[in-house]
Amino acid sequence: MAIVTEGPAAAVAAPDPASPPLVRVELLSEGQTLPAGGTFWVGLRQTITPGWHTYWINPGDSGEPPRIEWALPDGFVAGDIQWPHPERIPVGPAMSYGYSNEIVLPIPMTAPAGLVPGTRMTLRGQASWVVCEKTCVPEEAAVALTLPVAAGPPAPDPRAAPLIADARRAVPTPSPWPASFVATPERVTLTVAVPGLSAERVAEAWFYPARWGVIDHAAPQRARTGGDGITLEVARGPLPDAVAEPIEGVLVVTERLDGGLARHALTVRAEPPPVAAERSTPALLAAMALALAGGLVLNLMPCVLPLLSVKALGLVQHAGGQLRGHGLAYTTGVLVSFALVAGAL
């Protein structure tokens, strides 16, 4: 078996075909039959050698997520893998996100309308993955499942249906609460505005980013719960532009209940603070101050100052109503001119 050390820059070598696989895979269907049209669920079951692990969609500091290349009958369409929330797997100084022991990856699939009941259809795919302990090995296997088309609703498979249902329940659900973050050169602070959650009920909260480089995966995450919700602080990752756009990922909260612990997984999309809006007022005041200073400097220039004195003397030479009228006309002209310039800008 060809192996390499796992780490942030780990390479992956070709496995020895004579070695037994470290992961056994099986394609499952929630039903004993196929619908004659519509959506149904299948699952890629991975049984992993103890001590080894496979990977989530964001593998963390190393690794690759599982993939499936499908070869389906005409009209069948496979959806994306729906990823159950991962576990943290520390390996030396690195941190991976993945699965150990056993995992079922649920996948929605659509059957075309008009299938003939009783016809047997075969779903085929080529699954590939990387499995790691302290070393990493790429593996792949062909998977297939042949089922008849049902005349009515498909009967659930007593073995596979509960496994797929459990896997679907472990897939994070969209958070109903808004999320935001603030980033400094050293840290990222993420806040999810969960109302009415007391600190005593939260046993643990952990954020799994959907993409690499947003945070330091191996760094501790300091969580606190308060009136503004759940806030986590963690060191920034190595990707400089990762905080220039919304941060997406999965927040897993372990809640204390009377009967034990309950784990909730939520997909969140944290928006950056409205920096431009906060800076608009100071920027406008600064621009007005600069404009005033520029106007004073312009009026004190030798080519402008004499004209001001000529205008002032001209006003003095007029008396009474003429003086008032000229002054108003002069002021009106200035205001109208500036209004036209402002409208053009």
pLDDT digits (tens, 9 = 90+) for 224-256: 998 889 999 999 999 888 888 899 999 999 999
Choose between 189 and 326: higher pLDDT: 189
Closest CA to 204 of 262, 267, 268, 250: 262
Residue 253: CATH number of its domain: 2.60.40
| pLDDT of amino acid 318 | 52
| pLDDT of amino acid 327 | 61
CA dist 86 → 14, 172, 272, 288 (Å): 26, 10, 25, 54
**pLDDT of 316 above 90:** no
Residues spanned by the domain of 37? 4-170
User: Into how many domains does the chain fold?
Assistant: 2
pLDDT digits (tens, 9 = 90+) for 303-313: 445 545 545 55
Is residue 313 one of the residues assigned to a domain? no
| pLDDT of amino acid 307 | 44
Residues 187, 146: Cα–Cα separation, whole Å: 51
Q: What is the mean pLDDT of residues 334-345?
A: 58
Residues 141, 20: Cα–Cα separation, whole Å: 12
Q: Are residues 28 and 152 in the same domain?
A: yes
Residue 92: CATH number of its domain: 2.60.40.1250
Is residue 71 one of the residues assigned to a domain? yes
Q: Are residues 152 and 211 in the same domain?
A: no
CA dist 120 → 37, 133, 146 (Å): 14, 40, 6
Q: Which residues contact 304 (CB under 8 A, 6 or more apart)?
A: 298
Q: Are residues 165 and 192 in the same domain?
A: no
Task: Categorize the per-residue pLDDT at 199 as very low, low, confident or very high, splitting at 50, 70 and 90.
Answer: confident
**pLDDT of 33 above 80:** yes
Is residue 239 one of the residues assigned to a domain? yes
Is residue 156 one of the residues assigned to a domain? yes
Q: Are residues 11 and 160 in the same domain?
A: yes
Is residue 256 one of the residues assigned to a domain? yes
Q: Are residues 112 and 42 in the same domain?
A: yes
| pLDDT of amino acid 4 | 37
Q: Are residues 146 and 229 in the same domain?
A: no
